[in-house]
Amino acid sequence: MEVLFFASVVGYFAATMLQTAGVALNREKLRKAAYGLFAAAFLLHTAFTAWRGVEAGRLPLANQFEFASGFAWSAAVMGLMLYGRMKQEWIKTVSMPVAFLVLSYAAFQPMEIKELMPALRSTWFALHIGSATFSYASFAIAGGMGLHYLIMLRKGHSEGETRMKQTDYMTYRLICLGFLLLTVVILSGAIWAEQAWSRWWSWDPKETWALITWILYAIYLHQRMRMKWQGKRMAWFAVIAVICVLFTFAGVNKLLPGLHSYAV
């Protein structure tokens, strides 16, 4: 059944290429084909995730491969939902490469299904890790939108004031969603840690980096909501903050061993 996984990687890649070509050449047919391919790859990815969940007898979010796959799946869900609601081409242009890149990262992780270790057998598992996948996906797409905004700006507003505003606004809304979900991740993690290890907070590297990410986005939101920062500065902020998200997601597991080391 791994073929489903690799088919979805290829599907996301092909969708990204077609969408990029469709945007660059301004061909509607290519963009439509990209969307169809993206939806098909998403269905394959969903089927793979469901199969893996059934095979493992648990939610498939227990190690780096499964989490990365869940992260990419969340990005695809969000991309499809946002596009379905707003019907804006640039949403596809941003979410397709995010899903593809994250799933490609997953492809390089060990894929074997392992039994869930005792520390992860908890009712908090689904909420804590499920929220994390959607939180990271929100931040990653927001970063992509920030990049898209900067590219549009470089083109000299040729894309139109409304579209610039929309992109800026959607970046902010996605960061709001990601921030709320990251708060859920941190709080549910604290409750879970208290039940498992008797301590709410241990300053474990993963916890610490989740807090760093949370503070970074808290600063973003304050600058946006109180200081009324918008546009270019916020776009740069959204792009740079994704580096922190990616380090929390992958870098900590590889470089800073701690209580969350089983996530490797």
Partner 1 sequence: MKKMIRYLRSMQFGMLLLALVMACSFAGSMIVQQREPMEYVTRYGETWAQVILFLGLDDVFSAPFFLLLMAGLCLNLTLCSLVRLPKTIRAGKALLQRAENAQDVQPLDEGQREKLIGYFRARRYRCTERNGKNVYVKNLAGFYGSFLTHLSFLLILAVGAAAVLTAEVTDRAVMPGETVTLEDGVRVTVEAFQIVDETGRLDYASRLCAETEDGTKRARKEIRVNEPLGFEGYKIYQQTYGTAGSVRIDNLANGASEVMLLTESCFLTLDGRNGMFFQALYPGYVTAEDGSVTLITSTSGAYDDPVYDVLSVADGTMTPVLAFPDETLTIGDVSFTLLEPVSYPGLRIKHMNAAVLGALYAVFALLVAALYLCFFMTPVAVCVNENGYAVISPKTQTGLMIELEALLGEENA
**Which CB sits closer to partner 1, 154 or 226?**
226
Give me the DSSP letters along 79-136.
HHHHHHHH--HHHHHHHHHHHHHHHHHHHTS-----PPPGGG-STHHHHHHHHHHHHH
In the bound complex, what is the minimum distance in angstroms from residue 161's beta carbon to partner 1? 11
The Cβ of residue 117 has, within 10 Å, a number of other Cβ atoms equal to 10
Stretch that binds partner 1, among 2-10, 115-123, 135-143, 147-155 (CB under 8 A): 115-123
Out of 114, 157, 222, 254, name the contact with partner 1 by CB under 8 A: 222
In the bound complex, what is the minimum distance in angstroms from residue 25's beta carbon to partner 1? 27
**With binding defined as CB under 8 A, does residue 39 bind partner 1?**
no
The footprint of partner 1 on this chain (CB under 8 A) covers a number of residues equal to 48
Stretch that binds partner 1, among 33-41, 62-70, 132-140, 185-193 (CB under 8 A): 185-193
**With binding defined as CB under 8 A, does residue 108 bind partner 1?**
no
**With binding defined as CB under 8 A, does residue 203 bind partner 1?**
yes
**Which CB sits closer to partner 1, 50 or 221?**
221
Residue closest to 129 by CA, chosen among 79, 69, 51: 69
Task: Print burial letters for 169-194: b (CB count within 10 Å at least 16), e (below 16).
Answer: ebbbebbbbbbebbbbbbebbbebbe
**Which CB sits closer to partner 1, 45 or 260?**
260
In the bound complex, what is the minimum distance in angstroms from residue 40's beta carbon to partner 1? 29
CA distances in angstroms from 33 to 6, 20, 92, 99, 176, listed in the order given: 20, 12, 12, 17, 31
Element (H, E) at 63: none
**With binding defined as CB under 8 A, does residue 56 bind partner 1?**
no
Residue closest to 143 by CA, chosen among 197, 88, 84, 98: 98
Q: Quote the tokens at residue 254.
A: 């590889």
In the bound complex, what is the minimum distance in angstroms from residue 215's beta carbon to partner 1? 5
**Which CB sits closer to partner 1, 7 or 259?**
259
160: left (phi over 0), alpha (psi -120 to 50) or beta: left
Residues 6+ apart with CB under 8 A from 103: 8, 9, 12, 45, 68, 69, 72
Out of 21, 40, 150, 187, name the contact with partner 1 by CB under 8 A: 187
| DSSP three-state, residue 26 | coil
**With binding defined as CB under 8 A, does residue 10 bind partner 1?**
no
**With binding defined as CB under 8 A, does residue 162 bind partner 1?**
yes
Binding stretches for partner 1 (CB under 8 A): 115, 117-119, 121-124, 162, 165-166, 168-169, 173, 176-177, 179-180, 183-184, 187, 190-192, 195-198, 200-201, 203, 205, 208-209, 211-212, 215-216, 218-219, 222-223, 225-228, 252, 256
